[in-house]
Chain A
Amino acid sequence: MNVFSFLLDAENWAGPSGIWVRIGQHVFYSVASVLLAALVAIPLGVLIGHTRRGDAVVSGLSNAARAVPTLGLLVLVVTLMGSGYLPVVLALAVLAVPPVLVNTAAGFRGADPGAVHAGRALGMTGWQLVRQVELPLAVPLVVSGLRSASLQVVATATVAALAAAGGLGRFVVDGQNLGPGGYPQMFAGAVLVALLAVLVDLGLGGLGWALQRRTGRISREDRDHLATLQPGTA
């Protein structure tokens, strides 16, 4: 039996329960839950890192969240809310919060203390300090937090199938129900999840690299502007 048979059959790619649709669902869950997690975790991390208070909250929350079994959480949420998209996104978001929160808080707290002190002493408001000093210095860590969260979410989003909500996990679950004949289908689900995870990781890695590069460069416009300036004339 060829394990690739499922993937190579064009019929399996099309249609409302075809591979493309499943990929779309999978990506949708992942993006939605990481965005939701970022929406909660980044502001909280900024607050904690900037004020240097609430470290206990970070470590406690993230340890607790790591300990929560996603499957159990999903079952709980589905029981409470019924099946559908929302419970899946919520359960995955809980999984994505800790890495983003921990990294954001660490990035803000670890921002060059001399620079932060100087910024404050030169008269920056708290918000200016966050925007102009701490955030640019924390960006690499925040992005790396998003990266590991996304990776985890993409891999775990297969549980969506259990909440009757589709995604690439569907192939694994369905294949399993078919017995030995379902292996090519299970294999397809696994391979596609792995590929997606690699792509997401590469994409976010590239984003982090680009952001870091941008902060270390001077725009052409800037250079031109400077060339026309004379000291102390304006």
Chain B
Amino acid sequence: MSSVSLRASVAEDDDGQAVITFEAVSKTYRDGTTAVSELDLVLPSDQVSVLVGPSGCGKTTTLQMINRMIEPTAGSISWDGTPLPQIRRTTLRRQMGYVIQSGGLFPHRTVLDNICTVPTLLGWSRARSRSRALELLSLVGLDRSLAQRFPAQLSGGQQQRVGVARALAADPVLLLMDEPFSAVDPVVRADLQELVKGLQRELGKTIVMITHDIDEAMIMGDQVVIMRVGGRIAQMGTPDEILDRPLDDFVAGFVGRDRGYRALTFAPAAGLPVARIRSVRSAASVATGSSPAVVVDGEGRPLGWADAAHGSTLLPLGATFAAETDTLRAVVDAALSSPVGLAVAVQSSGRLAGVVSAADALEAVRRRRLQVAERHGSAVAAAPDDGDAPSADPATLHEEAGPPADPAAPRQEVGHPPTPSPDRRTTPPPDGAAPAGPADDEREAAS
């Protein structure tokens, strides 16, 4: 095949749409196992589609049929209307970036040469491939000094970044990701998820990703496809829809118990009433009998809480949220982890912006539930299932939302460590970050 025609076709597709359409696709392996059966699926362009399901649900088979690593036994798959079998395998694959679980880097090639793989296959000049590779290296947040290292000299997270850079090297329209972050620890995973989301926003790629981690699917996906064993779709929709309206017990079970809480990830915090709060420079300067105040440093950044009842002790700040960019989930989390039941909002500079009471946060949650229920039609309102009803809790909490009356306070830490950076806030640990202890203590203490 001539590299000239290849390059031309890659360039042509640069701004095109990349819709992958599955029509009645089945895959039965020679041993009789049906990995995928009668699959109808549209993977829209410029979006992140996540296929998620337990092992054996056919998600890997589905992904690998897109770049013809696996051929379907029945049905047809097309890319922008062109049936896949009409495109040469190698041509097709060079136009689709591919990221695999543990990087899949070539151990005998330097980081730079790994990234140059597809450009080299496409016949780019060495200088062009390499300068492109350097560009990508910085795009994925790696230092140029790593260019001449070998994969074994990098950490798992760095290797996976190189894997992403390699997949993006020839500027493919479509990016296929096969459980890309499952081999790294949760903190690195959150970073990588942020990286890919950022790249997607920036570069507008169509991404098809598979994972067995429902949290990751919810965080990453514009569209989430939940598959069940035997290669059938259990439910497909936005993360929001799936969390709010699981179609059946399988989905509900898979989505998990925390889904009410998790659904808040899709509601922005912007628009919540942020109330002013008194700020002081030192815990000792709070007068007796007055309401709690936020202790700030010289730059106006919140350090903790001060409360007359505790004298000059600095109470831990709890989680904070970014007033403009965070989600309702972060607000609720901040409220629940605050020793005084007030979620602390910060500006992008880190300066104190104000507070949102737990009551206001829950009111926002309630309004959102209603909104979602209305959007999904009256059937929901008529028969809300367990996860949909806000239940009686908010009312009780409402009364207790004020400052705690009791000094049976949470552990006090002087010199509380700085709060986590705001950008990490949106990606809580996979276990759903149990609402922090202090607020629970407060509630019990107050009742």
Determine if B304 is an interface residue (Cβ-Cβ < 8 Å). no
Expressed in whole angstroms, the Cα–Cα distance for A128 and B100 within the complex equals 20
Task: For the complex formed, measure the closest distance between the CB of B8 and the CB atoms of chain A, giving whole angstroms.
Answer: 16
Q: Which candidate, B127-135, B249-257, B388-396, is the interface stretch facing chain A?
A: B127-135
Determine if B117 is an interface residue (Cβ-Cβ < 8 Å). yes
Expressed in whole angstroms, the Cα–Cα distance for A226 and B147 within the complex equals 9
CB within 8 Å of A: which of B177-199? none
Asked whether A226 lies within 8 Å of B130 as measured between CB atoms, the reply is yes
Asked whether B67 lies within 8 Å of A121 as measured between CB atoms, the reply is yes
B30-63 Cβ-contact flags toward A at 8 Å (1 or 0): 0000000000000000000000000000000000
A119-153 Cβ-contact flags toward B at 8 Å (1 or 0): 11111110010001100110000000000000000
B66-104 Cβ-contact flags toward A at 8 Å (1 or 0): 010100000000000000000001111110001011111
B110-132 Cβ-contact flags toward A at 8 Å (1 or 0): 10100001100100011110111
- Given known pairs A231-B135, A232-B132, the reply for A123 and B121 (CB within 8 Å) is yes
**What residue in chain A is nearest B178 (Cβ atoms)?**
A121
- Given known pairs A122-B98, A226-B147, the reply for A133 and B106 (CB within 8 Å) is yes
Asked whether B118 lies within 8 Å of A122 as measured between CB atoms, the reply is yes
Determine if B138 is an interface residue (Cβ-Cβ < 8 Å). yes
Q: Which chain B residues lie closer than 8 Å to A124 at the CB level?
A: 90, 121
- Given known pairs A218-B148, A231-B137, the reply for A119 and B100 (CB within 8 Å) is no
Asked whether A118 lies within 8 Å of B108 as measured between CB atoms, the reply is no
Expressed in whole angstroms, the Cα–Cα distance for A223 and B138 within the complex equals 18
Asked whether B121 lies within 8 Å of A128 as measured between CB atoms, the reply is yes
Asked whether B106 lies within 8 Å of A123 as measured between CB atoms, the reply is no
Asked whether B127 lies within 8 Å of A234 as measured between CB atoms, the reply is yes
Asked whether A117 lies within 8 Å of B100 as measured between CB atoms, the reply is yes
Asked whether A223 lies within 8 Å of B108 as measured between CB atoms, the reply is no
Asked whether B105 lies within 8 Å of A122 as measured between CB atoms, the reply is no
Determine if B429 is an interface residue (Cβ-Cβ < 8 Å). no
CB within 8 Å of B: which of A77-130? 112, 114-115, 117-125, 128
- Given known pairs A115-B106, A117-B100, the reply for A123 and B118 (CB within 8 Å) is yes
Q: Which chain A residues lie closer than 8 Å to B101 at the CB level?
A: 114
Determine if B407 is an interface residue (Cβ-Cβ < 8 Å). no
Expressed in whole angstroms, the Cα–Cα distance for A136 and B91 within the complex equals 24
**What residue in chain B is nearest A233 (Cβ atoms)?**
B131
Task: For the complex formed, measure the closest distance between the CB of B62 and the CB atoms of chain A, giving whole angstroms.
Answer: 14
Q: Which chain A residues lie closer than 8 Å to B135 at the CB level?
A: 231-232
Expressed in whole angstroms, the Cα–Cα distance for A192 and B79 within the complex equals 69
Expressed in whole angstroms, the Cα–Cα distance for A47 and B91 within the complex equals 24
Q: Which chain A residues lie closer than 8 Å to B127 at the CB level?
A: 225, 229, 234
Determine if A216 is an interface residue (Cβ-Cβ < 8 Å). yes
Q: Which chain B residues lie closer than 8 Å to A118 at the CB level?
A: 98, 100, 104-106, 163
CB within 8 Å of A: which of B243-283? none
Asked whether A231 lies within 8 Å of B90 as measured between CB atoms, the reply is no
Expressed in whole angstroms, the Cα–Cα distance for A137 and B67 within the complex equals 25
B228-248 Cβ-contact flags toward A at 8 Å (1 or 0): 000000000000000000000
Expressed in whole angstroms, the Cα–Cα distance for A113 and B128 within the complex equals 29
Determine if A2 is an interface residue (Cβ-Cβ < 8 Å). no
Asked whether B130 lies within 8 Å of A122 as measured between CB atoms, the reply is no
Q: Which chain A residues lie closer than 8 Å to B89 at the CB level?
A: 123
Among B112, B117, B147, B150, point to the contact of A122 (Cβ < 8 A). B117
Q: Which chain B residues lie closer than 8 Å to A112 at the CB level?
A: 106-107
Asked whether B94 lies within 8 Å of A123 as measured between CB atoms, the reply is yes
Expressed in whole angstroms, the Cα–Cα distance for A133 and B163 within the complex equals 16
Task: For the complex formed, measure the closest distance between the CB of A163 and the CB atoms of chain B, giving whole angstroms.
Answer: 43
Expressed in whole angstroms, the Cα–Cα distance for A119 and B100 within the complex equals 11
Expressed in whole angstroms, the Cα–Cα distance for A125 and B110 within the complex equals 21
Asked whether A121 lies within 8 Å of B98 as measured between CB atoms, the reply is yes
Asked whether A137 lies within 8 Å of B91 as measured between CB atoms, the reply is no
Asked whether B108 lies within 8 Å of A125 as measured between CB atoms, the reply is no
Determine if B205 is an interface residue (Cβ-Cβ < 8 Å). no
**What residue in chain B is nearest A115 (Cβ atoms)?**
B106
Asked whether B121 lies within 8 Å of A232 as measured between CB atoms, the reply is no
CB within 8 Å of B: which of A5-58? none
Q: Which chain B residues lie closer than 8 Å to A117 at the CB level?
A: 100, 104
Asked whether B91 lies within 8 Å of A123 as measured between CB atoms, the reply is yes
Expressed in whole angstroms, the Cα–Cα distance for A2 and B106 within the complex equals 59
CB within 8 Å of A: which of B128-164? 128, 130-132, 134-135, 137-138, 144, 147-148, 150, 163
Among A115, A132, A133, A229, point to the contact of B130 (Cβ < 8 A). A229
Task: For the complex formed, measure the closest distance between the CB of B313 and the CB atoms of chain A, giving whole angstroms.
Answer: 51
**What residue in chain A is nearest B95 (Cβ atoms)?**
A123
Determine if B166 is an interface residue (Cβ-Cβ < 8 Å). yes
A153-195 Cβ-contact flags toward B at 8 Å (1 or 0): 0000000000000000000000000000000000000000000
Asked whether A229 lies within 8 Å of B131 as measured between CB atoms, the reply is yes
Q: Which chain A residues lie closer than 8 Å to B93 at the CB level?
A: 120-123
Task: For the complex formed, measure the closest distance between the CB of A230 and the CB atoms of chain B, giving whole angstroms.
Answer: 6
**What residue in chain B is nearest A121 (Cβ atoms)?**
B98
Task: For the complex formed, measure the closest distance between the CB of B116 and the CB atoms of chain A, giving whole angstroms.
Answer: 11
- Given known pairs A121-B67, A218-B148, A225-B130, the reply for A137 and B108 (CB within 8 Å) is yes
Q: Which 9 A-B pairs have the closest CB atoms?
A: A118-B104, A123-B93, A123-B94, A232-B135, A231-B134, A114-B104, A231-B135, A121-B98, A234-B131
> 7 more A-B contacts (CB under 8 A) besides A231-B131, A232-B134?
A118-B105, A122-B167, A123-B91, A128-B121, A222-B148, A225-B127, A234-B132
> Could you list 7 A-B pairs, sorted by A, with CB under 8 Å?
A112-B107, A114-B105, A118-B106, A122-B117, A137-B108, A225-B130, A231-B137
Residue positions of A touching B, CB distance < 8 A: 112, 114-115, 117-125, 128, 132-133, 136-137, 215-216, 218, 222-223, 225-226, 229-234
